[in-house]
Amino acid sequence: TSRRLLDKPTDASMRFSRGLSDTLPPLALDRASALIAELGGGRVLRGMVDDHRGALPPIPPIEIPDGALERVLGCPVDSSEAATALARLGFSVEQDGGALRVLPPHFRRDVRILADVAEEVGRSLGYARVPSTLPGRRRPATELAPHPPVEDRVRDVLVGAGLDEAITYSFTAVAAAARLHGLGEGRAPIPLRNPLSEDLSVMRTSLLPGLCGALGRNLNRGVSDVALFEIGRAYWEGERTAPPPGSTPDGADAALPPLPEEPLLLGMVSQTGDGRADTVAARLRDLQSVLAFAAHDLAGVSVTIEPQEIPGLRPGRSGRIIADGAAVGVIGELDPDVVDGFALRGRVAAAELRIDGLVPQVPPAPRFRQPPTQPAVQLDLSVTVPVDARMGTALEIAREAAGELLESIEDLDEYRGEATGTRKSWTFRLTYRAADRTLKMTEAQARHDAVAAALETRLGAEVRR
């Protein structure tokens, strides 16, 4: 009562609010008075001043039906043994066959129900008696487990590739949104009515400005070679085509202001501090590989990069990410002006992918594929090509020329230097396999030679011997 009136919590109020007995203070006072008289020569007067508005209600007895303790604890419990254990703890126990009538001691107001008594019995007799069982009810599996959220699947891929996750504000500055558009190209950011500050005055249309800000803060604190990703939503005004989640089926909320489209995006930035073109090119290939793996894992599709000039990205080192003929993202090196605008250092590779434009609404059911029973033949191919040649074009030519025996093709390396002059060098690894027989080396070499000839004819490649 004093705590509520004065709004001053005390140690006593905290203890009594947890259900301590009101019979404990007189016992404590008697003991303290005896110590004062014995050790300090004090004189104890009769009586006690008790500013207590009323005693707490008496503790009611608890009825324990026969077999109830066994059902709660999950192991056999003899009623006489339980009564003896409770009596040792100060409980008053009346036994009638297998049933018990238990009255807790005055200082155990926390024991109120059957489960409390069962806990005391189990603790006294030892929990080692309780057998180990699996939790919950067991039933046969009749369906597959639900798919994990797509964000978790993407996050697993990115973390496994060595990137660190960042979580940035859904708001950004007007200047930052205009400096780097990403997938928000051509879209005006939505202004806030009550912005927290000028730097957080509009809703973001891309994740890349926020990631660049996080990248800059890491660099300013001495972190080098930073690689960050973020999974989040952007806000595109006037592009929503379906009712937002939570809409009423009767259409009563149709008169409310329309909500923006909220696409689920993946943004990535990777910084290198040495300023070398070949280093940032390697970072771009790393991001491209991660995107390709994520697209295959999420939707079972292959992605290609179509070179294009993207605002905010360096010309000649930027392009759109294409999946099934549709543009689903952008990738490239940040333009030097953008790097300076965000107060970054070195060179930065960036990519942004629209996840919900890539992943189907209903995830495809998993299908079993028989592991290969025949050995594969792996052959490498190194060629030099014109400096403006496209990797995607080379891969398409190689797949067409190799035919059905080609299981996979992987670009291992790109080199530019004095040894190649005005050209660049690519190295591919091609895996050949026949499903019904052991593939002979002569067959694989014939397909390999066909790939080399097709690249020479259609791409102007020269095979490096």
Characterize the bridge pairing of strands 164-165 and 227-233: parallel
**pLDDT for 218:** 94
- Mind listing the pLDDT tens digit for each residue in 431-453? 999 988 999 999 999 999 999 99
Q: In whole angstroms, what is the distance from residue 394 CA to residue 440 CA? A: 25
Q: Is the dihedral of CA 145, 147, 152, 155 positive or negative?
A: positive
Q: How far is CA 128 from CA 69, 115, 177, 351, 463, in A?
A: 16, 18, 63, 57, 74
**pLDDT for 190:** 93
Nearest-Å Rg of the Cα atoms of the chain is: 37
Q: In this structure, which CATH number among 1.10.3080.10, 3.30.300.30, 1.10.40.30, 3.30.930.10 belongs to the domain 150-240+260-354?
A: 3.30.930.10
Element housing 380 (H / E) = strand 377-386
Phi, psi dihedrals of residue 327, rounded to the nearest 5°:
-80, 120
CATH of domain 377-463: 3.30.70.380
CA atoms within a 13 Å half-sphere pointing along the CA-CB vector of 355: 24
Domain spans, the chain: 1-56, 62-129, 150-240+260-354, 377-463
Q: In whole angstroms, what is the distance from residue 248 CA to residue 225 CA? A: 49
Q: How far apart are the first and last CA of the chain?
A: 93
Which one, of 419, 399, 420, 400, lies nearest residue 410 by Cα?
399
**pLDDT for 3:** 64
Fold for 62-129, please state it. Answer: Phenylalanyl-tRNA Synthetase; Chain B, domain 1 (3.30.56)
Tell me whether the CATH fold assigned to 62-129 matches the one assigned to 377-463. Answer: no
Which residues touch 55 (CB under 8 Å, ≥6 apart)?
A: 22
Q: How far is CA 371 from CA 3, 155, 286, 289, 446, in A?
A: 72, 28, 28, 24, 25
∠ CA 370-399-376, rounded to 5°: 40
CA atoms within a 13 Å half-sphere pointing along the CA-CB vector of 218: 20
Contact at 8 Å (CB) between 83 and 93?
yes
- Token representation of residue 243: 């009712």
Place of tokens 């499903």: 435
Q: How far is CA 170 from CA 191, 201, 349, in A?
A: 12, 10, 22
- Token representation of residue 199: 């730097």
∠ CA 333-334-335, rounded to 5°: 115
Which one, of 169, 208, 163, lies nearest residue 185 by Cα?
208
Helix (H) and strand (E) counts in the chain: 13, 16
* Partner residues linked to 95 by β-bridges: 100
* Residues in the chain, total: 465
**pLDDT for 385:** 93
Output the furthest CA–CA distance in the chain (Å, rounded): 115
Contact at 8 Å (CB) between 204 and 233?
no
Regions of the chain where pLDDT drops below 70:
1-4, 11-20, 52-53, 135-138, 246, 361-366
